[in-house]
Amino acid sequence: MIGIIHFTNCYLADNSQLVKKDLYIDTKQGIIIDGSSIEKENNECKEGNQSEAKVEVIDLDGNLISPGFIDIQINGCFGLDYSTTFEDSQSKANFVLHYTESMEKLLNHGVTSVCPTVTSSFSNVYNDVMMIIGLKTRSSTKTDSLGVHLEGPFISPLKKGCHPPETLTTMENGYQSLIDIYGEEFEKYTAILTAAPEVDNCLEVIPEITKDNKIAFSIGHTMSDFETGLQSIKNGASMITHLYNAMPSLNARNPGVIGLTNTTQDILPSEKIPYYGLVSDGIHVHPTNIKSSYFANPGKTILVTDAMYLIGLEDGIYKRGNQEIEKNGNLLHLKDTKTIAGSATHLIDCVNNLIKWTGISIEKALATVTNNPAMSLNISKRKGFLKTGCDADLVILTPQGEIKRVYKLGNRIV
């Protein structure tokens, strides 16, 4: 047997627990395997005087193994904006090349899977990029796409954030409105769809969006009150996009969408509580709110970067369509305004911020970028966990949260 790696002297960070245990991976299949079968086979080989299975043993010197990180809301990175349209075949070819290169670079930061996010756009943007960034992959050399996160354009004009107002629309023609904007085959390439439930006909369309659990509907960029948000969950919504941002504040008598994260059992059974994204960059949401939201429902908290294409670039003023975005460190604003324009913070930094602001252990924090996003997308049998059969997408970290190595399908990247 060739291509087995045996990690030893390590701690597995999985299911919000830290367990000292060895881990075996099959690099040929790119999956985690049951180590007991390897040991049994070797013992049988010894007894029969046969050659043992060929295993590479790696001593991790007491470091941690985490599943690869999953970012379900990332708008671009390293100079590539996912919300792009092409002028000609050459610009398309350049985009594909840049996309491949940026997904390779993302692995260096422990992010092994993403939902590339397209913000509110006209139909030509979706028609151009959907089949590229929405193509679901399983690569040993670059970050995987799990399908596109469509953030808009069916959102509230009052909570548009930095989304171009001219692109916003309603579901006037029901499900056909989605096809008109996103294209005939959008379901094939989509993992998450963010919309405002109060948009015309949205509540009626949610069941069709979420049928067969192929697409997750996420409440976002909304003026919805608590009751409207509750109805959207009853209709099939299972997520909330970047909690606190682009939604009404929590009110004593109307908790709004934020109140859906920890409501009473008689109103919403615990299993129906939606997963919710948090941008823990210290800019989008105050650390106090990050702390309270995490403890409201740790098993439903998902850290996201909401990163723009400016992540990894120098500070300065950058064009995005008809807008200008000012980058100052991790802070992104529309030029000359206080409107936040996404983030430039890496996911591992968000994890370490969560640890600092909540006082939780690293294994609990890591669950918010591994186990929880995998469960939210119904992919936990193959991604986001350290269990037999899952892809060997791994991040090796120190107990202090510093990335030391990254493996993609068992292939060492860093």
- Is residue 128 annotated as part of the catalytic site, yes or no? no
245 annotated ligand-binding residue: yes
What are the backbone angles phi and psi of residue 19, rounded to the nearest 5°? -125, 130
Tell me how far apart the alpha carbons of residues 40 and 29 are, in angstroms, rounded to a whole number: 20
221 marked as binding residue: yes
- Residue 366 CA to residue 381 CA, distance in Å, equals 18
CB atoms < 10 A from the CB of 296, how many?
17
Q: Where are the beta strands (DSSP E) in 137-243?
A: 144-145, 148-151, 190-195, 216-219, 239-240
Query: Is 149 annotated as ligand-binding?
Result: no
State CA 10 to chain mean position distance. 26
Helix (H) or strand (E) holding 70: strand 69-74
109 is known to lie in a ligand binding site: no
How far from 9 is each of 4, 17, 19, 225, 396, CA to CA, in Å? Answer: 17, 16, 11, 51, 12
Six-digit token pair at 3?
């291509």
Q: Which residue's structure tokens are 């756009």?
A: 121
CA trace torsion 99, 104, 106, 109 (10° rounding): -170
Strands 148-151 vs 216-219: parallel, antiparallel or unpaired: unpaired
Tell me the C-alpha distance between 248 and 236, whole Å: 21
Considering 144, 306, 391, 393, which one is annotated as catalytic?
A: 306
Q: What is the DSSP string of 118-139?
A: EES--HHHHHHHHHHHTS----
198-215 in b/e burial notation, b at 16+ Cβ within 10 A? bbeebbebbeebbeeeeb
Residue 191 counted as an annotated binding residue: no
Block residue for tokens 């092994």: 112
163 carries a ligand binding annotation: no
DSSP class of residue 222? -
Distances from the Cα of 260 to the Cα of 15, 251, 264, 365, angstroms: 23, 12, 9, 21
Is 253 flagged in the annotation as binding? Answer: yes
Burial 20-32 (b: 16+ CB within 10 A, else e): eeebbbbbeebbb
3-state secondary structure of 299: helix
* Known binding positions: 151, 162, 221, 242, 245-246, 253, 284, 340-342
* Known binding positions for substrate: 162, 245-246, 253, 284, 340-342
* Residues labelled as active-site residues: 306
* Known binding positions for Zn(2+): 151, 221, 242
